[in-house]
Structure 1
Amino acid sequence: MRSTVHIQNLKCGGCAATIITKLSEVKNISGVTVDQEEETVSFDYYNHHDFERAKHILSMIGYPILGADNKLYTKAKSYVSCAIGKMHK
């Protein structure tokens, strides 16, 4: 199955690089793409558990799904993830 989710805190290519790297490391998640303009992440997954795991990982690295809690520490995580993504681009 394929899904596209709207996320928060997406700022640049560094963010996108981190998101692609982290989600691509997860078993049963593949074909990860990020649309910075639309602030979306698309990916293929095997079952609902994999989809939920992907959402959890996005939140853990600072990019929660639109409508989810977006507290200050989540925003701070996104800045760290962004910096890491820029270094590894």
Structure 2
Amino acid sequence: METIFEVENIKCGGCMNSIKTALLKLENVEDVTIDKEIDTIFVKGNAEREIIIAKLNELGYPEKGENTLLRQAKSYVNCAIGRMSETK
């Protein structure tokens, strides 16, 4: 089963790396594909939608229309972490 999430704050490959790494750690998530151009995340598996949304909010990548200043700040932090992880 594939679930689609339209989110905010995806800026670069670092963001995508942080999102994918975090979501793949969730139970019942089999694969994660991200299309930065349309700010969409495709999650394969049987994970509950609410759990994925909670993780995305925690990372700073909320669903469209749910953005806050705090979530934007979190996304910048996770973007930097993702960029550092990319270079390893």
TM-score (norm 2): 0.92
* Distance in structure 1 (CA, Å) of the matches to 2:13 and 2:33: 12
Show structure 1 runs of 5+ residues with no match.
none
Q: Is residue 35 from structure 1 mapped to residue 35 from structure 2 by the alignment?
A: yes
Aligned residues: 86
Contact between 1:32 and 1:43, CA under 8 Å: does it hold in 2? yes
Does the residue aligned with 1:26 lie in a helix, a strand or coil?
A: coil
Q: Is residue 85 from structure 1 mapped to residue 73 from structure 2 by the alignment?
A: no
Does the residue aligned with 2:31 lie in a helix, a strand or coil?
A: strand
Show structure 2 runs of 5+ residues with no match.
none
Which residue does 1:72 correspond to in 2?
Answer: 69
Dislocated runs of 4+, deviation >2 Å: none
5 Å matches for 1:1-89?
1-46=1-46, 50-68=48-66, 70-89=67-86
* Aligned residues with identical type, % of pairs: 40
Paired AA for residue 56 in structure 2: L
Does the residue aligned with 2:63 lie in a helix, a strand or coil?
A: coil
TM-score (norm 1): 0.91
Q: What root-mean-square deviation, in Å, do the aligned CA atoms of Structure 1 and Structure 2 show? A: 1.0
